[in-house]
Structure 1
Amino acid sequence: MGEIWWSLLGAAIPVVVAGQAFRVKKRRAEEQRLQSARGRERSSDEIFVCERVCTSKRMLKKVGSFSKDPIPDTCVTVCGVSDLDACADACARTVCINQHQVPNWNDICLRRCQSECLKLSSQSQSS
């Protein structure tokens, strides 16, 4: 009977150790994720965020036909109080500069351009 308990205990120990290792790994991954998110926060001495938006082929493809008569291969760098503000202003000055007669198209153009700008911004900061 004692042999059975020792064998059960011998089998349980690796399971407990593996479970603990899994929890530690999961906790470290969560801490890493939170730390990288904190890296994007602005410190008190950083007042402005600058974003550069270009009417590249990639950007125009992402925005689609919602940008009306864009001027190809032009770029603008705009600073704002947040990533979103800077991207919105830069998009309005380059990709979505010419207004459509259908107002909804202008909103869609700005949303798509902002989304792409923010993606590119987060990729460049994580690199």
Structure 2
Amino acid sequence: MVEVWWPLLAAAVPALIGGQALRIKKRRGEEERIKSARGREKSSDEIFVCERVCTSKRMLKKVGAFSKDPIPDTCVTVCGVSELDACSDACARTVCVNQHQVANWNDICLRRCQSECLKLSSSSSRSS
């Protein structure tokens, strides 16, 4: 009876390790995108970067329950010296405006919103 479980275990372990590796790779990719956005400050002739963030169904789905009582279908455009600054400020004004009692949830809300904002920003700059 024990011999039957060994092949199943042998098949499950690589799948679990592979799944964990994919999650780590995705997390590192998001961290790198935020770091690179922090360094993308504009030159003196391009003073501001503007980002538009909306409390769309897609954004609220990405942020999840970390957004407390958002007002659906509202948008704000914010300008800053980098894409990260503009995204951070826009997220704080729309998606993550109401603070949770649990402080860590506010940070997670901002990080997820910034990440999504930067994804949209980089995809729109590639298509232009």
Q: Please report the TM-score for the alignment, with normalisation by the length of structure 1.
A: 0.67
Tell me the secondary structure at the aligned position of residue 118 of structure 2. Answer: helix
Residue in 1 that maps onto 2:48: 48
Residue in 1 that maps onto 2:27: none
Alignment of 1:64-103 (within 5 A): 64-103=64-103
1:68, 1:93 → 2: CA distance? 12
RMSD between aligned alpha carbons?
Answer: 1.1
Offset from partner CA, 1:37-74 (integer Å, 9 cap, x none): xxx77332011100000000000000000000000000
Relative distance call for 1:68 and 1:41 in structure 2 (3 A) is: closer
* CA radius of gyration, larger in: 1
Q: Which 5+ residue runs of structure 1 have no aligned equivalent?
A: 1-39
Residue in 2 that maps onto 1:19: none
Relative distance call for 1:98 and 1:48 in structure 2 (3 A) is: same
Aligned residues: 88
1:108, 1:97 → 2: CA distance? 13
- Write out the 4+ residue segments of structure 1 that deviate beyond 4 Å after TM superposition: none
Of 40-49 and 59-68, the range deviating more from structure 2: 40-49
1:103, 1:95 → 2: CA distance? 16
Tell me the secondary structure at the aligned position of residue 76 of structure 2. Answer: strand
Q: Which 5+ residue runs of structure 2 have no aligned equivalent?
A: 1-39
1:46, 1:105 → 2: CA distance? 34
1:43, 1:104 → 2: CA distance? 34
2:43, 2:88 → 1: CA distance? 22
Offset from partner CA, 1:6-46 (integer Å, 9 cap, x none): xxxxxxxxxxxxxxxxxxxxxxxxxxxxxxxxxx7733201
Tell me the secondary structure at the aligned position of residue 78 of structure 2. Answer: strand
